[in-house]
């Protein structure tokens, strides 16, 4: 039975990629600046790069490496890295001190607060970005307002509120929450710190994506310690596309002549990047509806235009997958082969591995197999972007077997 994933082979070895925007948006100087700022945050440490050698052997590839962001600053998610760096850059802009390095100690001082005045930071979120922004505002002693959509789970709302942020629930989906946050911020003079962009709002989302490059700088240092120059393949999940563009842009900028093969994975109920690529006109296109997927962090109907530009120019393959693929990825990571480490991953964090496993254990089309170029020499990398951020849903999937793999795609004897 052939796998029924929808896919687009966007670039092949015969097509020339355009890395100019990636080089401009993700210079190494920005990654190092973000890393310098993050290293001053109390509690900062490098998160693990985990190897899954036995799973790689089972699948017939050279190696699988997972950057485990569930260990990030006790936040259970990578999002804090982008939001914190954007707040830092925004504070420097407000103070007119953009050419200076400001210490975390200064940012929390009465002197800094007096200079800033009555600032308020706000954003819309599916959970992790809002929690990260609430966390950094709490650490800096600054007010924060977070907007969530009506389908956001109560544990995610409670986690945001636990850091002192005011949470507003908006009827509709994530994109409705984005629009409401922007409208209220304009009316009240607040600063929006959003990881998605729109016309006229691009600088701060760019800073957020550059903040994620701090993670990638860690990854390359860890690969270097293993004697690996770079991965041959990167599987990366996409919602609005910010994290995906950061990862793809980072590797496209430092390896423009020989980048990894980039596979962008989305939920089939919220494939806004996929549909924008499928349109073939180089423009962003929206996906309508309730975006009802277990991958809450990826349930986005509108791509971020600046992120889409990076992905359009540099990503190789776009795939949309059903929820059961993410659920199986969670189970594989949480119940690994003997000798491989256990990785606790949420739905959005596990979908790249779930997709890789499906592609290598199910029958797929010859053209997709040729484009993937996966073999015994392949080194596959992905980011576990979140841990167990919704405990109730996590138990439903791992304990109760919610979103099971269809019988025709299950592991054969």
3-class DSSP state for residue 209?
helix
C-beta of residue 310 within 8 angstroms of C-beta of residue 17: no
The secondary element (H helix, E strand) that includes residue 236 is strand 233-237
The secondary element (H helix, E strand) that includes residue 277 is helix 272-279
C-beta of residue 385 within 8 angstroms of C-beta of residue 349: yes
Name the strands in the sheet holding 261-267, side by side, starting at the edge strand that comes first in the sequence.
Answer: 6-9, 317-321, 261-267, 233-237, 379-384, 63-68, 49-51
**What secondary structure does DSSP assign to 347-361, as a single string?**
HHHHHHHHHHHHHHH
What's the N-to-C CA distance of the chain in angstroms? 16
Cα–Cα distance between 213 and 183 in angstroms, integer?
30
3-class DSSP state for residue 162?
coil
How many alpha carbons fall within 13 Å on the CB side of residue 410?
7
Cα–Cα distance between 232 and 283 in angstroms, integer?
29
**What secondary structure does DSSP assign to 150-196, as a single string?**
TT--HHHHHHHHTTT-EEEEESS-HHHHHHHHHHHHHHHTPEE--SS
Residue 203 is among the residues annotated as catalytic for this protein: no
- 10 Å CB burial of residue 198 (0-12, 13-18, 19+) is middle
Label residues 16-41 b or e (16+ Cβ within 10 Å = b): ebebebbeebbeeebbebbbebbeeb
Torsion of CA 147, 152, 155, 160, to 10 degrees: -10
67, 79, 139, 145: the active-site residue? 79
C-beta of residue 63 within 8 angstroms of C-beta of residue 54: no
Which residue do the tokens 């485990």 mark? 68
C-beta of residue 48 within 8 angstroms of C-beta of residue 68: yes
21, 67, 71, 126: the active-site residue? 126
Residue 375 is among the residues annotated as catalytic for this protein: no
Cα–Cα distance between 56 and 8 in angstroms, integer?
25
Q: Where are the strands (E) in 244-333, listed by range?
A: 261-267, 317-321
| Residues annotated as part of the active site | 79, 126
């Amino acid at each position: 039975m052939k796998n029924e994933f929808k896919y687009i082979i966007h670039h092949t070895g015969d097509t020339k990629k355009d890395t100019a925007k990636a080089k401009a948006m993700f210079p190494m100087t920005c990654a190092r600046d973000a890393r310098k700022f993050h290293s001053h945050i109390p509690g900062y440490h490098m998160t693990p790069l985990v190897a899954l050698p036995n799973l790689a052997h089972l699948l017939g590839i050279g190696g699988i490496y997972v950057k485990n962001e569930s260990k990030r600053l006790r936040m259970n998610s990578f999002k804090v890295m982008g939001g914190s760096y954007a707040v830092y850059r925004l504070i420097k802009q407000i103070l007119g001190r953009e050419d200076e390095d400001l210490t975390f100690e200064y940012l929390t001082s009465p002197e800094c607060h007096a200079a800033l005045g009555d600032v308020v930071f706000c954003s819309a979120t599916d959970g992790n970005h809002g929690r990260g922004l609430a966390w950094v505002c709490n650490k800096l002693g600054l007010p924060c307002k977070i907007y969530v959509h009506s389908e956001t789970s109560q544990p995610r709302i409670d986690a945001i509120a636990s850091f002192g942020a005011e949470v507003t629930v908006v009827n509709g989906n994530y994109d409705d929450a984005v629009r409401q946050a922007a409208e209220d911020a304009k009316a009240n003079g607040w600063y929006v710190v959003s990881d998605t962009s729109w016309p006229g709002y691009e600088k701060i989302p760019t800073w957020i994506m550059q903040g994620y490059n701090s993670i990638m700088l860690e990854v390359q240092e860890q690969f270097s310690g293993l004697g690996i120059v770079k991965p041959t393949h990167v599987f990366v999940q996409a919602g609005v596309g910010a994290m995906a563009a950061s990862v793809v842009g980072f590797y496209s900028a430092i390896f423009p002549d020989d980048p990894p093969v980039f596979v962008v994975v989305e939920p089939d109920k919220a494939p806004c990047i996929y549909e924008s690529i499928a349109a073939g006109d180089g423009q962003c296109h929206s996906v309508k509806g309730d975006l009802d997927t277990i991958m809450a962090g990826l349930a986005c109907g509108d791509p971020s235009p600046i992120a889409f530009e990076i992905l359009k120019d540099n990503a190789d393959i776009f795939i949309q997958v059903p929820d059961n693929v993410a659920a199986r990825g969670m189970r594989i990571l949480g119940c690994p082969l003997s000798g491989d480490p256990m990785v606790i991953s949420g739905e959005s964090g596990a979908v790249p591995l779930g997709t890789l496993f499906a592609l290598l254990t199910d029958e797929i089309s010859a053209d997709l197999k040729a484009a993937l170029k996966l073999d015994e020499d392949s080194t596959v990398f992905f980011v576990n972007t979140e841990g167990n951020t919704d405990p109730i849903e996590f138990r439903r999937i791992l304990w109760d077997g919610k979103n099971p793999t269809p019988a025709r795609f299950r592991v054969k004897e």
